[in-house]
Structure 1
Amino acid sequence: MKLELTRVHMVGPAGSGKTCAQQLLLNEPPPTKSATSSDPHSDVRSATSSPPAKSTTEAQSSGLTLATKHTTDSTPIACKAVKALRIASHDGTETWNKITEDKLLEKLAASLKEAKENAAAQQIQPLLNKLKDAKKEAQETQEEHLNSGNEEQIDSEPNSKHSSSDSRKSEDSKESKQEETPQGDNDAGDVLKDIADLIPKAGAQLSEKWVYIVDSGGQPAFQELLPLFTRAATLNVITLDISKDLDEKFEFMYRFDGQNFPCDRGMKHTNRKVFNSVVSSASVQKPIDIPFVKHQPKHSMSFVLGTHYDVLIEKNKNNKEAAKAEVAKMSDDLMSAVPHLTKRIPSVHKTSVIYPVNTLQKDERMQSSKNILETMSKFTEVTIEIEVPVRCFAFELSLEKKAEGKGFVTREEAIEEGKKLYMKEKDVEIALTFLHTSTIILYYPQIEVEPKLVFVDPQKIIDVLSHLLALTYVSYPIPATKLVPKIDNTEICDLKEGYFTKDLLEKFPKVFSDKFTSEYFISLLKHLDIVTHKAWVRAGDNNSIDDNIYFIPVALPAYNDEYDNDLPKSIKPLYYVWTEEGESKSKNFVFVPQGIFILIFVHLLKKEEIEFRQDHSMYRDTFSLRIYIKGKRCTLYIINRYRHIEVYFNGPKNYCPQVRKLITTTINTISSEQHYKNAFPCPNGNKQCYCIVNEEYKVANCSKCDLNDISESDESYWCWFNSSSGAEKAEYNGIEPDKTKKDDQKPPVVSSEFFPEIKDFEDDKKMKRTFSTQLIKEEQEFIEKVNVILVTATKNEYRAVMGATDPPEHDGKYIKVIIKEESEKAFILGKYGLHNVAVIMTGQGPKETDKVLTSIRKIVKAKYVIAIGICYGAKEGKTKLGDIIVAESIVDTQNKREEKDTIILADTYHCGEKLVNIFKHDKDFGYEADKSVEVHVGVLVSEFTLHRNEEEKQKILKYVPKALGGEMEANGIHRVADRERGFEWIVIKSIVDWGNEDKNKDWQPFAAVLCARFVLKYFNDPVREGDLLKEQ
């Protein structure tokens, strides 16, 4: 099915009318729930914000009566996506018609049935044509024999008229049938069976135009979490209350139970600040990695909807022209600060980017909706084109039905639903991945809680999290106890400091069940990096440690400049500034992307060398941490100024590069594809200007002033950067450093101890050779205790693994066992840490790996097979050279191909769960070399192909958007495992290049050694009870 999908996000400050605007777009009536039962209307200002008293007084003194509106409870962090069909009218306009899952199922079945009938008609058409020709010939012959008299004429005119009429009726009926929405209450199971049976018979490509609309809460804390639960929009509808001036200060409010509660404890916001933040976040959004995608926009567009236009008109004494002029002035003022975004925020109302509207109007509501949609239709680059298998689409709708009433299904239930559509388990996995990346469905199989859940409607999760934050806004006991009965004030006080326990979650009514437990909810929040779990020292509680407390930084208040005066002065702050997506060389800077600061906070708290400061208050956008470097305690301050992030450090200057690396690595981990730069504050005091750092040439150029006033010898600035250490290390080892490459492009030098020549360990003095049929008793007993086979493919991988392997015997000799019948196949016996292993070198590619491993396993019945070596990286933004990839799964792209009407999908093979659980815990790793690298856990593609260029590589990787890299041997290991079913396997490899035309071998020795030493680290651990590698 060719699906044209527009993803719409309703964004804007709380109370700006997002929900009402969505209802207007769908041509639905405005909300009717009022603020209180006794007062059905409330002042528009009091319902959305708390402006200065002066503004209200002026409005009242002028004699104006501000328009009133209905108010509803605040929207949660995000709402389930509303599906709508884009319907083209006869007059060329467009409407968006909301449709339920039941109707979509019926519509799909009807479309498939029609396609089947059309296909059948095409097959019999030649026969019908022959019959038609024969009938025409017979009629002509008959007419030749007829007399010319009227009495002998065949009066065919009535029949002709009747036929013409029937034809028109038939065409009208057909057209009507195509346009109408399916009716009836057919059983969903019957409809799904019809769909499954019709798919192979339809013989045609269906086509649909959809809109996904996601509404969201406008409170700042809610907006910080929004990116974690939604995918990037193609069209952001930004609602701004234009009854307020751009710089009029107001508080964000949370509405509940007819009351308004301030969210940020006195902090003020403005329309301008909200607009800049929203458009900045939109401008750094990356396109979604969706399987089956054929086309998608390079960036999202924004449509600014000016709400409360009726109030603005009344403020201008009902002078509409004056109100229009004021809107145009607001538009010019807003865009003057972001002129580089004019292509992404085009004019929608003559020369204005603001489309003014009264979202609560009742008269001519349909026409207003059409007018807005007609304007939006001019945004041509907001549609994603996906050619998605119909089964995948039907599968989503079947999950919707299965999840009714609870919001989720188990993975096992999803597999059963897939069987009804004749889908195999691997097809279900692909479909779930597609739905996770393209819809609001959440599927995280990595969470170590059983059963695995698929949140078809994650609203339950989002509502619990939204109410958890709302408890920090509302008053106690009422209405707090309406949100969570039995909650006590101590729990609310703890929550305002960012702490909560599982006991609090258990008090949420009718949320958790035997499958969706509070433990699962916490595991999900930890996986999303919303909360972290440590043993916290509780102040005022005799310094007792409570390891059952969870920390959620987004529940903290906004920063109030409390410790600006305490910030270190001897070391200048380091800035992180962001540029537009795809504009790494741009001087057009955008605000800090929403959500990223909270992730930085949580990621840093996971580091063993970091702990909280107890003597400073904590905020969701500012924190101070104690950091330990070589045992010395220092303090790190990180502040989100929204235009940029500031980093301060009060430790020794020579530690600054390590601090910068810590923060930079953290940001790369959570936002690898967003463009940011390091900068210093402008020495001229220009707050709109940054001194952008060029580390290679050790200069900092001002972005606005065009100056370079920072001396390269000023260590108060340049202490953050230490670009000479890599070169000094190389020179110390007697090697002339490569001056043509940056330090992060040059691999550290590897010593011969870790990377010996093959002749050094295969020499007769160091290696005993024997045939598999001539093993002595001791050798046979050693083999029986071998529980791991280490697989290498290349000589560099073999050298690195052997450099980490000790001989098994006291005489210092390795044992090379040769398969007598196949003399080219052999394995080396040795000790890898504390464990007996067999090391093999297979050669490159799955075929050779299959052949060698099959032969070796006839003798070595090990329970585990680990492939150690090198690979290419998928994207430079995701990973770096030398980084280690622990494969959770392998995707076989060898047989993936596209045919005219079919996409043959890649197969996914999961690595051994026990092995993944052993190696997945490290976030970074280093041994004795100068460079430490990150450890990634995820997907590797496997295909026996050397890509000639980046374009060729990306053609393969577009079908596996989550891939971290690729290699060539894993498929061979899987084939053996699939046949023999007697062992677990895993692939662990280090990145040496990017799989394109820029290949070089410089990184291969270091990467191979790094990977071998990473595995050795775990093999050196003492045997513990229950250790799966304990057999020795």
Structure 2
Amino acid sequence: MLEGLDSNSNKADKLVNVLQTTLDAHTNPDAYLQEVCSALKEKGQKQIVDVVNELEHALFISTMQSIDSSSASVPTNKPEDTPASNRIQGRLEKWLKEGKVELKVTRINMHGAPGAGKTCSLHLLLNEPPPASTDSTPIACRAVQATKISIDDKNKWERVEIKDLLNQLASHLAEAPASSDDVSDCSDKLLLEEPPKKKPTDIEVMKEISNALETGKFQKLSTNWVYFIDSGGQQAYRELLPLFTRAAALNIITIDLTKGLDEKCKFQYHIDQHMYPIDTDLKYSNRDIICSTISSEAMLNPIEIPYVSDMPDHPHYFILGTRKELVTDEKLKEMNESLREYRANDKVMKQNERQGSIIFPVNTLLPAGSKEREEASVELCTAISNCAVEMRIELPIRLLTFEISLQREAKKKERSFLTKEEAIQIGKSLRLDESDIDEALRYLHNVTIILYYHEVLPNIIFVDPKPILDILSHLIAITCVDRTKLHLLANPPPSPDEMNNLRNFGLFNKDIFRIIGKQIFLHSNFKTSHMIKLLRHLHIIAKVENRKEGDYFFPCALPSYDKLNPASKVVRPLLIAWEIHNRGTTTLAIPQGLFPLTIVHLLEKKDKVDFCPVGKGFYRCHDAMSLRIYKEYTIDIINRYTHIEIRFYDCKEFCPQIRELVTDAIKEAAKISMLMMIIFLH
């Protein structure tokens, strides 16, 4: 891939050399080269277009760098020793004065059991055909960005791609009035001598945006956006989901109406149109998932973002029932009555306040293109829009253009990430200096789908986080599927020993990433060691010492416990439950993701905590773990889903130290701010 880019760059240089004589004689060489590029691209041949794209990109960067150098001597009022918080605030204020977009943003997370219809519901919301494939969704998909539109007074949402964003910005720019200020000569060089008759290229649009910011042409742009995060419903996936998604204003909890509220969900994994049951004692019903989602999301603190107004104080919940065509009105009424406990919760949206109905029933498999599907889509969009949970963000046009440029460059390079150096070069084209880039990336990490873990991976920007989520998803999935299908997740498949170590002990070596994440590791700037560093930073895995089965422990790869041994009759178990104050809700479930994080935090206390031997009487499961404390005591820590239970089988007088050790790990896992209060019962 890199060789191809170098080749295009060399060909672009040769093209310039061929035209050098004409360029030397031309009064405006840059404009002439743009005309040549336009003429060549009209030929439409892919090789020509690739070369010209490379030349256009070089032209744009060169032009903007010349502007940077011409304005480098302009004094600034920015103090040298400003604290980081004031520094980014000052930069945001400066960028906002240049031009801003007022975003009305609704963040939506999709929850539900496997096969409940989350992905099908998303397609219905966008009035797109039902998905052709039924393969399992990974931990989370790349956020779908949509925009709200109104046609014939009907609410509709349409998927938005990079090109659509550029066109929207270009259209707004074209409508903006000309500035009364004189435009400098160097800015004039950014414009073509004659307006192009054809649609402008991405480079031209970004160039015009940058020029408009410099000349004061850009007015405020207002638009409505919706971010959807679709997620996998498998139990282990649900535990990892909170680590990769922001707190959402609206959580759509999808339930299959044909399953009932208290029927335990059959967890399974779909791949290549085949279903593989997950061998586990089923603990989650539709009611459990509703309760777990509401309690977990309610514990998340909202993101603190500058220049945000109308931020909802609490997450809200929308219960969506799929396969309504297969249940009677009487059955639906019965299910609504069974959820009457949520009628008093003003965070749970009501379908009909007077009738007390909570579930919004839909048929997600209506035929594509049919009038019935369009009407169902409009009805669902309207119901969600009426939840009124949008927040308003004032985003500098310069940063929005920077985000679009990052996405465009990653797509061009066929990569899911960019390096810091690549981001710096892109920033230069938008007059962001190197010191601006880090602050800009941190801001985009909070308000967009871009992930930037500057503490541990300062040189990597994940423009599309899907590949790293796929790696984790596959690491879990290979423990579930038949060996005949392993090659679809890992090629070549892991050895029997590797599979046994992962499935039974939760242990692996980093080399396994090379077979389940080949695509992302093709580039030398992202290695398996980077993935390990990220997972350790997020406390998803723990480093272990002197284990022949592997160097890293991943609790989410382990199976669930089947049954529990009798508790000690001498020492009563310690129970830990949660309460949320000042939010009108009392939680009765463990926050998603907290249990495996607690186990990892405990194992990171290497001088105090270690594994127990694997054998009869000890647990090595993702929801129950036996641990050796201070080398002589044993505890069982069990996720009861309404509380955490800690069993201690040794000296009763040592209970206070055990309690302190475990609760400290829980506080670290939750970063304390996620939990409003911990109630201890002994």
Q: By the TM > 0.5 criterion, same fold? A: yes
| Corresponding residue SS for 1:213 | strand
Q: Deviations over 1:967-1021 (max 9, x none)?
A: xxxxxxxxxxxxxxxxxxxxxxxxxxxxxxxxxxxxxxxxxxxxxxxxxxxxxxx
Trace 1:631-1030 onto structure 2 (pairs within 5 A).
633-671=632-670, 672-679=672-679, 717=682
CA deviation string 1:104-145 (max 9, x = no partner): 02211221332344x659xxxxxxxxxxxxxxxxxxxxxxxx
How far residue 490 of structure 1 moved from its aligned partner, in angstroms, is: 2.1
Tell me if the contact between 2:343 and 2:356 (Cα under 8 Å) persists in the aligned partners: no
> What is the one-letter code of the residue matched to 2:335?
M
Contact preservation (8 Å) 1:10, 1:237: yes
**Counterpart contact for 2:140–2:469, Cα < 8 Å:** yes
Give secondary structure in 2 for the equivalent of 1:658.
helix
Aligned to 2:508, which of 500, 504, 521? 500
1:236 aligns with 2:251: yes
Counterpart of 2:361 in structure 1 is 356
Q: How many angstroms does 1:667 deviate by? A: 2.2
Structure 1 residues 30 and 535: CA distance shift in structure 2, 3 A: same
SS at match of 2:519: coil
Q: Measure how far apart 1:202 and its partner are.
A: 2.6
Task: Name whichever of 663-672 and 295-304 sits farther off.
Answer: 663-672
Partners of 1:676 and 1:561 in 2: how far apart? 31
Alpha-carbon separation, structure 2, partners of 1:666 and 1:275: 27
Of residues 400, 405, 408 in structure 2, which corresponds to 1:401?
408
Work out the CA distance in 1 between the residues paired with 2:541 and 2:344. Answer: 36
Q: Which amino acid aligns with 1:618?
A: R
Higher helix proportion (structure 1 or 2): 2
Cα distance in structure 1, aligned partners of 2:258 and 2:585: 33
Say whether the 8 Å CA contact 2:281–2:561 is kept in structure 1: no
Name the residue aligned to 2:169. 108
| Change beyond 3 A, Cα 1:580–1:506 | same
Give the TM-score taking structure 2 as reference length. Answer: 0.77
- Flag the 1:325–1:574 CA change in 2: closer, same or farther, 3 A: same
Give the match for residue 73 of structure 2: none
Residues 549-581 of structure 1: per-residue CA shift (max 9 Å, x gap) = 211000111122333x1x333333222222347
Aligned equivalent of 1:603: 601
**Aligned mate of 2:424, from 409, 415, 425:** 415
Q: How does 1:536-575 map to 2 (within 5 A)?
A: 536-537=546-547, 545=548, 549-563=551-565, 565=566, 567-575=567-575
Paired position in structure 1 for 2:190: none
Q: 1:243, 1:311 within 8 Å by CA — same for their partners in 2?
A: yes
The whole-number CA distance in structure 2 between the counterparts of 1:345 and 1:205 is 33
Q: Which residues of 2 match residues 188-207 of structure 1 at below 5 A?
A: 188-200=202-214, 201-207=216-222
In structure 2, the residue matched to 1:84 is 146
Name the SS of the counterpart of 1:479 in structure 2. Answer: helix
Matches of 1:676 and 1:651, distance apart in 2: 32
Q: Which residue of 1 aligns with 2:123?
A: 23
After TM superposition, give the deviation of residue 433 of structure 1 in Å. 0.8
Letter in 2 for 1:483: L
One-letter amino acid of the structure 2 residue matched with residue 352 of structure 1: S
Residue 14 (1) aligns with residue 114 (2): yes
Q: Over residues 255-301 of structure 1, what are the superposed CA-to-partner deviations in whole Å (9 max), with x where a residue is unaligned? A: 01121111243535422222221222222222112233233101111
Contact map agreement 1:251 1:264 (CA 8 A) in 2: no
Whether contact under 8 Å (1:285, 1:299) holds in the other structure is: no
Q: Per-residue deviation at 1:676?
A: 5.0
Higher strand share: 1
Counting aligned pairs with the same residue, the percent is 39
Which residue identity does 2:138 align to in structure 1? P
**CA deviation digits over 1:24-47, x for unaligned, max 9?**
0011111224xxxxxxxxxxxxxx
Corresponding position of 2:91? none
The DSSP-based 3-state class of the residue aligned with 1:591 is coil
Distance 1:533 1:5, change over 3 A: same
Matched, 1:433 2:442: yes
- 1:385-409 superposed Cα distances (whole Å, 9 cap, x missing partner): 1111111111111110111111000
Query: What pairs with 1:200-279 in structure 2 (closer than 5 Å)?
Result: 200=214, 201-267=216-282, 269-279=284-294
Contact 1:249 1:269 in 2 (8 A): yes
How far did 1:378 drift? 2.0
Aligned to 1:530: 540
Aligned residue type for 1:21: S
CA contact (8 A) 1:251 1:266 kept: no
Pairwise CA distance, 1:332: 2.0
Deviations 1:824-871 (A, max 9, x none): xxxxxxxxxxxxxxxxxxxxxxxxxxxxxxxxxxxxxxxxxxxxxxxx
CA drift at 1:213? 0.7
The amino acid across from 1:194 in the alignment is: E
State the 1:482 CA deviation: 2.2
Residue pair 1:348, 1:354 contacting (<8 A) in 2 also:
no
Contact 1:574 1:678 in 2 (8 A): no
Q: Which runs of 5+ in 1 are unaligned?
A: 34-71, 122-182, 313-322, 538-544, 682-716, 718-1032
Paired letter, 1:325? E
Alignment counterpart, residue 452 of structure 1, candidates 459, 482, 486: 459
Q: How far is 1:366 from its partner?
A: 0.9
Letter in 1 for 2:123: Q
Structure 2 spans left out of the alignment, 5+ residues: 1-100, 182-196
Q: Which moved more, 1:483-492 or 1:457-466?
A: 483-492
How far residue 657 of structure 1 moved from its aligned partner, in angstroms, is 2.6
Q: CA, structure 1 residues 652+664, in 2 after alignment: closer, same or farther (shift >3 Å)? A: same
Q: Which amino acid aligns with 1:88?
A: S
SS in 1 for 2:400: helix
Structure 1 pair 620–610 and aligned structure 2 pair: CA distance change class (3 A): same
SS in structure 2 opposite 1:639?
Answer: strand
Residue 324 in structure 1 maps to residue 329 in structure 2:
yes
- After superposition, the CA RMSD in angstroms is 2.3
Hey, what's the Cα distance between the residues in 1 that align with 2:318 and 2:217?
A: 39
Contact 1:231/1:438 (<8 A) preserved? no
Q: CA deviation at 1:227?
A: 0.7
After superposition, the Cα gap between the structure-2 partners of 1:335 and 1:576, relative to the gap in structure 1 and judged at 3 Å, is farther
One-letter amino acid matched to 1:302: Y
SS in 2 for 1:561: coil
1:32 aligns with 2:132: yes
**What residue identity is the alignment partner of 2:569?**
K
Aligned partners of 1:75 and 1:464: how far apart in 2? 13
Cα distance in structure 2, aligned partners of 1:256 and 1:400: 29
* Larger Rg computed on CA atoms: 1
- Structure 1 residue aligned with 2:472, among 465, 468, 485? 465
- Aligned residue among 336, 346, 357 for 2:350: 346
SS of match in other structure, 2:605: coil
Is it true that 1:475 corresponds to 2:482 in the alignment?
A: yes
| Aligned-residue offset at 1:339 | 5.2
Q: CA–CA distance in 1 between the matches of 2:171 and 2:459?
A: 34
Distance 2:576 2:213 in 1: 52
* Contact persistence 1:112–1:199 (CA under 8 A): no
Distance (whole Å) between structure 2 residues aligned to residue 536 and residue 24 of structure 1: 52
| Structure 1: distance between partners of 2:482 and 2:581 | 41
* Contact preservation (8 Å) 2:277, 2:480: yes
In structure 1, distance between residues paired with 2:164 and 2:678: 52
The CA deviation at 1:308 is: 0.8
